[in-house]
Structure 1
Amino acid sequence: MFLEATKRRNPELIDAAVKLHQEGAILPDTYILDLDSIVQNAKVLKKKADEAGIELFYMTKQIGRNPLVSEAIKNAGIDNAVVVDFKEALVMMDNNLPIGNVGHLVQVPTRLLKKVVAYGPKFMTVFSKEMLERINEAAKEANKVQKILLKVIEPTDEIYEGQFGGFRLNELADLAKLAKGLEHIEISGITSFPCFLFDGVSELKPTNNIQTIEKATAILSDNGINISELNIPSATCSKTIPLIQGIGGTQGEPGHALTGTTPLHAKMDLEEIPSMLYVSEISHNLDGKAYLYGGGYYRRGHMENLLVVNEANEKFSDTVETFGNDSIDYYLTSTHNHAVGSTVLAAFRTQIFVTRSDVAVVSGISTGQPKVEGIYNSLGNLIRR
């Protein structure tokens, strides 16, 4: 999906991946993160957002909740993380990284609320009045007022399986009355997901979710709740930040843009450059096909093209065969034989945190002096330096 763009726009990453694998610095089933390029992408996004008056929260689930990369993104100017679930929140908290938004897509569990509220996230996203009341209690104990984003949902909205939750529009008037009696929360904004979807050609188009957000804002305003924040996530990147601004949004959440791997990056060259590669190795051949070590397969990743580099540095293009969702990816299959031990490179849309892959954070690629800063597991835990 992104391999040709990576060859063209970041060939140093290709060279570094082959070198590190063939030297034994990294093993098969490893994602390489090009730290220099990710930092540059973060600076591009920050500049675009500042020009548009949009606040950004960076997302790390797609890069395996990596704390080292998170620190670098923060130092590049995007101060706060958005955490997709409470486990990602704990990674940020363990590494003293500021949290901009927690609770969307997964709310904080009841028995973790006190710890999270006391840590000081800028916003917490809420799906239910019971959660609102419990956050109020935790904030009272912490002697603070917690800012809240309400997730809203209507039957006509675009919602992925496994992500259902939110307030219906006809609940908001009563919710406003409840909120006015809770002294330790402040309803500051509205959110939904996804607010944009790729048309498969060249554009991200607004979903009906945005209309729901606009209606929710009006209802709450009519009931005495001033909404100052519109959190508009989905494929936030240099090209879509103006779209967020155009519909009155105030917050975006770049994730794949940090590695140059949004759906738009597969179709066009944007300011962000490709900064992530999947590295494997040919294990064996059988019946005219080669088998490479798996572990990093993501069913929505559109993994297709492969670059195979043998130990004589000869390069071969190939494709990976379609892999069913009913099997474990112990191996993936290429369509041709290749020398055992050869390096295999791929670049596709992934969510590292749902794989069993390793993550190598590599600096110095842009200067031709790659250095492995650390090897992490897919959940952000350091394995070795």
Structure 2
Amino acid sequence: MFLTQTIRRNPGLVEAAIRLHGEGLLPDTYLIDMDALLENARKIKQCADACDVKLYYMLKQLGRNPEIARRLAALGYEGAVTVDFEEAQSFIRAGIHIGHVGHLVQVPKSALEEILAARPDYMTVYSIEKAREADAACGRLGLRQRLLLRVLDPEDTLYSGQYGGFYLKDLPEALEALRQLQHVTVAGLTTFPCFLYDEELRKIAPTHNLQTIHAAKGMLERAGFTVEQMNMPSATCCQSLPSIAAAGGTHGEPGHGLSGTTPLHAAADQEEIPAIVYLSEVSHNLDGKAYCYGGGHYRRSHVSQALIGGLQSGRIVGVIPPTDESIDYHFGLSGECPVSESVVMAFRTQIFVTRSRVALVEGISRGEPAISGIYTAQGQPIGG
């Protein structure tokens, strides 16, 4: 999906992957160009500041990496948005500040006290029951917690496995119940996705969800609630931030924007450049095809091509990903290739659902690539 763009816009990253593989780096490793990633992050932050939009960073797609989190915090990002409670717990234990928790996955009852004690800026709830659990946990801890309500409408864009929230028709009654809680405060709204890449327009465009969140805002304000946050995630990058601001958004949540890998970045050059590749190695050949080591497959990656061998002397071949019902022991390649040759791919990642390693590489922009750390797909350091 991003291979040709990466070769053209960040050839140093591709060269570094091949060089480090030759020096013994194992296949099934994602390499993150920290120079490029942090430059992308600076550009996004500058654009957000100009638009008066605050940013929570999303790192699930890069393997919940605590070192990246610390570097983004140093650039002035507000905190992490943790996609689920496991990510929240791992960041809390690494000393990472959480800006937003509970949006795509609710915090389970037994994890509430640990997570709320870490004082996240906001927690999203889908139901009165979850708000009551949070209220009780806050009472035991002696603190108050600001809540965001996830709102939805039957016409909204929703993804399978991510259903949940307050329907607009049920919101007035819910607000009356939420008003009775003593240790939590309804302080804002969110929905997902607010923006998506539109192939016809070739830009990131608003979804129907924006109409829903604005209708909900009116309901909250008429009921006497102060809406201090309008959280509008998905595809947050330099191109979409002015749209977030124009839509009344107060917060964006860049994820793939940080690594230059939103669908927009596959279609056209943007301010952010590709900052991540996947390294594998040819394992064997069979029936006219080569097979390289897998482990990093994500069903929506749109992987299509791989570079075999060197940047100058190698060749690009088609990739045959495993079927969705199969374990990704290998990726197929369209043609025979030398066994143990380097394989470099660039596609849409969700590292946290893989079994891959993640190597942070510094110095690519200076022509001096060096691995500064290797981590599991869940952000745990490997080795010394």
TM-score tier, shorter chain, comes to over 0.9
Deviations 1:241-283 (A, max 9, x none): 0110111010100000111000100011111111000000011
Provide the C-alpha distance between the structure 2 equivalents of 1:223 and 1:119, rounded to a whole number of angstroms.
30
Q: Is the partner of 1:320 in helix, strand or coil? A: strand
Q: Is the 8 A contact 1:59 1:253 kept in 2?
A: yes
Consecutive unaligned residues in structure 2, runs of 5 or more: none
Provide the C-alpha distance between the structure 2 equivalents of 1:244 and 1:78, rounded to a whole number of angstroms.
17
Could you say which residue in structure 1 is the equivalent of 2:228? 228
| Paired letter, 1:182 | L
Deviations 1:305-353 (A, max 9, x none): 111116x973111111253212111111111111111100000001011
Could you say which residue in structure 2 is the equivalent of 1:260? 260
Provide the C-alpha distance between the structure 2 equivalents of 1:368 and 1:73, rounded to a whole number of angstroms.
23
Provide the C-alpha distance between the structure 1 equivalents of 2:179 and 2:157, rounded to a whole number of angstroms.
30
Task: Determine if the alignment matches structure 1 residue 140 to structure 2 residue 146.
Answer: no
Consecutive unaligned residues in structure 1, runs of 5 or more: none
Provide the C-alpha distance between the structure 2 equivalents of 1:79 and 1:187, rounded to a whole number of angstroms.
20
Could you say which residue in structure 1 is the equivalent of 2:198? 199
Provide the C-alpha distance between the structure 2 equivalents of 1:320 and 1:134, rounded to a whole number of angstroms.
47
Provide the C-alpha distance between the structure 2 equivalents of 1:261 and 1:85, rounded to a whole number of angstroms.
22
Q: Is the partner of 2:360 in helix, strand or coil? A: strand
Task: Determine if the alignment matches structure 1 residue 31 to structure 2 residue 1.
Answer: no
Provide the C-alpha distance between the structure 2 equivalents of 1:123 and 1:37, rounded to a whole number of angstroms.
30
| Paired letter, 1:283 | S
Could you say which residue in structure 1 is the equivalent of 2:177? 178
| Paired letter, 1:153 | L
Provide the C-alpha distance between the structure 1 equivalents of 2:325 and 2:144, rounded to a whole number of angstroms.
47
Q: Is the partner of 1:383 in helix, strand or coil? A: coil
Deviations 1:148-204 (A, max 9, x none): 100011211111010011011122212222222222111111111111122224112
Q: CA RMSD in A?
A: 1.3
Q: Is the 8 A contact 2:204 2:239 kept in 1?
A: no
Could you say which residue in structure 2 is the equivalent of 1:64? 63
Could you say which residue in structure 2 is the equivalent of 1:277? 277
Runs of 4 or more, structure 1, over 6 Å off, are: none
Could you say which residue in structure 2 is the equivalent of 1:323? 322
Provide the C-alpha distance between the structure 1 equivalents of 2:96 and 2:365, rounded to a whole number of angstroms.
26
Deviations 1:64-118 (A, max 9, x none): 1011111111112213000000000011101111100000100111011111111
1:355-374 mapped onto 2 (5 Å cutoff): 355-374=354-373
Provide the C-alpha distance between the structure 1 equivalents of 2:107 and 2:284, rounded to a whole number of angstroms.
45
Q: Is the 8 A contact 1:38 1:73 kept in 2?
A: no
Q: Is the partner of 2:245 in helix, strand or coil? A: helix
| Paired letter, 2:292 | L
Bigger drift between 192-201 and 346-355 goes to 192-201
Q: Is the partner of 2:212 in helix, strand or coil? A: helix
| Paired letter, 2:360 | V
Q: CA deviation at 1:133?
A: 1.0
**TM-score for the superposition, normalised by structure 1:** 0.97
Could you say which residue in structure 1 is the equivalent of 2:19? 19
Bigger drift between 203-212 and 340-349 goes to 203-212
Provide the C-alpha distance between the structure 2 equivalents of 1:270 and 1:238, rounded to a whole number of angstroms.
8
Q: Is the partner of 1:270 in helix, strand or coil? A: coil
Provide the C-alpha distance between the structure 1 equivalents of 2:130 and 2:288, rounded to a whole number of angstroms.
57
Q: CA deviation at 1:300?
A: 0.5
| Paired letter, 1:351 | Q
Bigger drift between 138-147 and 354-363 goes to 138-147
Provide the C-alpha distance between the structure 2 equivalents of 1:46 and 1:382, rounded to a whole number of angstroms.
27
Q: CA deviation at 1:361?
A: 1.0
Q: Is the 8 A contact 2:54 2:78 kept in 1?
A: no
Provide the C-alpha distance between the structure 2 equivalents of 1:261 and 1:322, rounded to a whole number of angstroms.
19
Could you say which residue in structure 1 is the equivalent of 2:165? 166
Could you say which residue in structure 1 is the equivalent of 2:219? 219
Q: Is the partner of 1:151 in helix, strand or coil? A: strand
Deviations 1:96-144 (A, max 9, x none): 1110000010011101111111100000000010111111122222222
Provide the C-alpha distance between the structure 1 equivalents of 2:306 and 2:6, rounded to a whole number of angstroms.
12
Could you say which residue in structure 2 is the equivalent of 1:304? 304
Provide the C-alpha distance between the structure 1 equivalents of 2:38 and 2:326, rounded to a whole number of angstroms.
36
Bigger drift between 252-261 and 315-324 goes to 315-324
Provide the C-alpha distance between the structure 2 equivalents of 1:8 and 1:120, rounded to a whole number of angstroms.
43
| Paired letter, 2:300 | R
Task: Determine if the alignment matches structure 1 residue 52 to structure 2 residue 51.
Answer: yes
Q: CA deviation at 1:55?
A: 0.6
Provide the C-alpha distance between the structure 2 equivalents of 1:259 and 1:31, rounded to a whole number of angstroms.
12
Aligned-residue sequence identity (percent) comes to: 46
Bigger drift between 66-75 and 295-304 goes to 66-75
